[in-house]
Amino acid sequence: MTISSSLNAGVAGLTANATRLATISDNISNSATFGYKRMEADFHSMVISSTGGTYSAGGVRSTTQRLIDQRGALVATSNPTDLAVRGRGFLPVASSSDIASGNGQSQMLLATTGSFRTDAEGYLQTEGGLTLLGWPAEPDGTIPTFPRDTADGLEPVQINVNQFSGEPTTRIDLGVNLPATSTEAGAPGDTQALSVEYYDNMGTSENLEIEFSPTVPGTGVSNEWTMTITDSANPGVVIGEYTLTFDDSRSAGGTMASVATITGGPYDPVTGEVEVNVAGGPMTLDIGVTGTSEGLTQLSDSFAPVSISKDGTPVGNMTSVEVDSNGMVHAFFDTGITRTIYQIPLVSLPNPNGMVALDQQTYQPSPESGSFFLWDASDGPTGDIVSFAREESTTDVAGELTSMIETQRAYTSNAKVIQTVDEMLQETANIKR
């Protein structure tokens, strides 16, 4: 029994070391594979109860585990949609073939890095056929509320590289100086005209036509103007008319003293704004707070648009897409605007090493890994997302080569045990000859 147990222990040793060599071989062969997580083989002794003063060898058994929670070094790339997770968390992805089959919700897989580029349909996809998943944004760039304990809200990230975008103008700030001499008795009473371009809801250029008409008194100075506003989208229709009175005191000379509304939205003395309705909807005009030098003033003898600013942009072409550290996918346009189109969450699990490892450095949640939760990147227990970066393999080639030498020596020693037991059995068989 003792001799045969030695033989069994030797065979178990060969099997265990062969398993370890297989993990070493896998690790070395994937030393240049981005996102690869190294395999580790552990040995566990087997103990058989000894009786009658004899000892029976139990041998050894091996177990293997993929160290998914280990992180490799990040390396910089030139592709803005090369993504890597810095810290805890995983990127949600799905197989492109699974998405193309159209069988409902695609199976969510997890990865720590990927080189994503747009395919023929605009999906962000790796060369191996993995498509990035994310939550779609509303047209205004906000992200709706989605469930965090399920992947039901995730969609394949699709970038329309031929997309056009524009933003309508909703606010104009007027900084204009009106000539004080135009409100004196005997002045010619010339109307001062100002045209301000804005962009409507369709990205088309329109104009607000603003006319300032002075009130010329019979004697003295009136310090009063009538501001009339029309919209080029509705020619001839007055959308706002206001009476402006200016201060001529020593301490506040040239500033607005009061604003009286004739037609249009009322003047707000706190914000200095009026609201008029253009063809596409309401628009805010900031003409300045009374008693301040901001906005409309009346000084000297010249009409001067000092500063006119507005929001909104014309229609522009998408030029690039980037992902920030919080997982927001931003589309950049040649007009200078940026629009949020998706959010990429990071998936966290209690036991990442319990996931099922699949091809292409992807993993699938399992009962051993625990329930997953979708976090905003850089929030909760998760790290952040790094663009222009890939995660290197966690394989340490020097360490693996050292382990390979150790495994080879152990395998040879176990083979020697089997050879010795065989010789001893032969000697035992020769006793009766």
Q: Is the pLDDT at 1 greater than 70, yes or no?
A: no
Q: Which residue has the tokens 């959308």?
A: 239
Domain boundaries, given as residue ranges, for the chain:
2-67+394-430, 74-161+346-391, 169-311
What are 60-83's pLDDT values in tens digits? 999 999 999 999 999 999 999 999
What tokens does 415 get? Answer: 């083979």
Task: Give the pLDDT of residue 55.
Answer: 78
Q: Are strands 171-178 and 296-298 parallel, antiparallel or unpaired?
A: parallel
Q: Kindly write down the DSSP assignment for every residue of 96-145, as one continuous string.
A: HHHHHHT-SSPPPEEESEEE-EE-TTSBEE-TTSEEEEEEEPPTTSPPPP
Average pLDDT for residues 320-331, to the nearest whole number?
94
Beta-carbon contacts of residue 341 (< 8 Å; ≥ 6 apart): 136, 137, 141, 159, 321, 329, 330, 331
* Amino acid occupying residue 58: G
What tokens does 142 get? Answer: 């906000």
Q: Which of 244, 249, 251 is nearest to 269 (CA)?
A: 244
Q: Which of 117, 123, 124, 93 is nearest to 107 (CA)?
A: 93
What are 228-261's pLDDT values in tens digits? 999 999 998 999 999 999 999 999 999 999 999 9
Q: Is the pLDDT at 347 greater than 60, yes or no?
A: yes
Task: Give the pLDDT of residue 133.
Answer: 96
Beta-carbon contacts of residue 247 (< 8 Å; ≥ 6 apart): 223, 253, 254, 255, 256, 257, 291
Average pLDDT for residues 104-121, to the nearest whole number?
90
Task: Give the pLDDT of residue 315.
Answer: 81
Task: Give the pLDDT of residue 203.
Answer: 83
pTM of the complete model = 0.74
Beta-carbon contacts of residue 409 (< 8 Å; ≥ 6 apart): none
Beta-carbon contacts of residue 40 (< 8 Å; ≥ 6 apart): 23, 64, 65, 66, 67
Query: Which H/E stretch holds residue 245?
Result: strand 234-246
Partnered with residue 136 across adjacent β-strands are 342
Rounded Cα gap, residues 384 and 85, in angstroms = 6
Average pLDDT for residues 324-349, to the nearest whole number?
92
Output the CA–CA distances (angstroms, integers) from residue 68 to 29, 74, 155, 389, in the order listed. 17, 16, 25, 19
Q: Which of 248, 245, 251, 250 is nearest to 290 (CA)?
A: 245
Average pLDDT for residues 263-283, to the nearest whole number?
95
Residues of the chain above pLDDT 90, percent: 77
Rounded Cα gap, residues 412 and 13, in angstroms = 10
Angle at 190 between CA 189 and CA 191, to 5 degrees: 115
Rounded Cα gap, residues 289 and 152, in angstroms = 51
Confidence of residue 56 (pLDDT cuts 50, 70, 90): confident
Task: Give the pLDDT of residue 36.
Answer: 96
Q: Which residue has the tokens 């139990």?
A: 58
Confidence of residue 59 (pLDDT cuts 50, 70, 90): confident
Task: Give the pLDDT of residue 196.
Answer: 96
Confidence of residue 183 (pLDDT cuts 50, 70, 90): very high
What are 124-166's pLDDT values in tens digits? 999 999 999 999 999 888 999 999 999 999 999 999 876 677 7
Q: Is the pLDDT at 186 greater than 60, yes or no?
A: yes
What tokens does 264 get? Answer: 């249009």
Rounded Cα gap, residues 348 and 72, in angstroms = 18
What are 353-385's pLDDT values in tens digits? 999 999 999 999 999 999 999 999 999 899 999
Rounded Cα gap, residues 330 and 293, in angstroms = 39
Confidence of residue 182 (pLDDT cuts 50, 70, 90): very high
- In 384-427, which ranges are E strands? 384-387, 389-391
Superfamily of domain 169-311: Flagellar hook protein FlgE (2.60.98.20)
Confidence of residue 308 (pLDDT cuts 50, 70, 90): very high
- Among 4-13, 171-180, 352-361, which stretch is predicted with the lowest mean pLDDT? 4-13
Rounded Cα gap, residues 225 and 234, in angstroms = 24
What tokens does 382 get? Answer: 């998760």
What are 392-410's pLDDT values in tens digits? 999 999 999 999 999 999 9
